[in-house]
Amino acid sequence: MSDLSTQLQKLVIASGNAGKVEEFRAYLADLGLTLIPKPDSIDVEETGITFIENARLKASQVAIATGGWALADDSGLEVIALNNAPGVLSARYADTDSDRINRVLQELGNSSHREAQFVCAIAIASPDGAIAAEAIGICKGTIADAPRGNGGFGYDPIFLVPQLQQTFGEIYPEVKAKISHRALALDILRSKLESLVGSHYSA
């Protein structure tokens, strides 16, 4: 498709998570794209067994359903001592963020092995559903003994960044925007996305 740059002016963010949508808006603000939240009427079942499978699935189906370009991510927390749980079930591990956090802390208990990582897989699909670009970002850390901070969303209050000795719930948004799993995945995607929108920003 030779006219990709003229086509990709609007991008549907295939997520119902307001926190994620706002993060994408911040990360992609300088590309001149119009970002549109996914219509509530579109609900894609996440049947993949990996983050990238789910990202591809959501991006493709949302692109086809809306007739436009779509960006989807699937992300979650992997706790090494819990055999990488909650993993792809991160958003479904319990009914609320606080319940999900409590379940992880209860299952981990007093274990000294608290290594964990946030994983983010992102896929971009063209209007016909074809995957045009994808990337995976990983941010390594540990699980705090208890929630700390009121920032972020999801598991952020218990994800401790060792070099900062702060959780994602405590650090400033502009710091998280540089080191998070989502930021790292977008960094990988950036050159491809710039090409698609016809931009010429430096990486």
Of the residues 73, 74, 97, 156, only one is catalytic, namely: 74
DSSP 8-state secondary structure symbol assigned to residue 45: -
Continuous segment of H or E residues that includes residue 66: helix 51-66
Tokens 């999900």 sit at which residue? Answer: 100
Q: Residue 33 in contact with residue 7, Cβ under 8 Å?
A: no
Q: Residue 118 in contact with residue 159, Cβ under 8 Å?
A: yes
Q: Residue 142 in contact with residue 78, Cβ under 8 Å?
A: no
* 187 tagged catalytic: no
Tokens 């699935």 sit at which residue? Answer: 57
Cα angle 188, 189, 190; round to 5: 95
Report the amino acid identity of residue 130. Answer: A
- Cα-to-chain-centroid distance, residue 185: 8
Report the amino acid identity of residue 94. Answer: A
Q: Which residues pair with 124 in a beta bridge?
A: 71, 133
Q: Residue 134 in contact with residue 125, Cβ under 8 Å?
A: no
List residues with catalytic annotation.
74
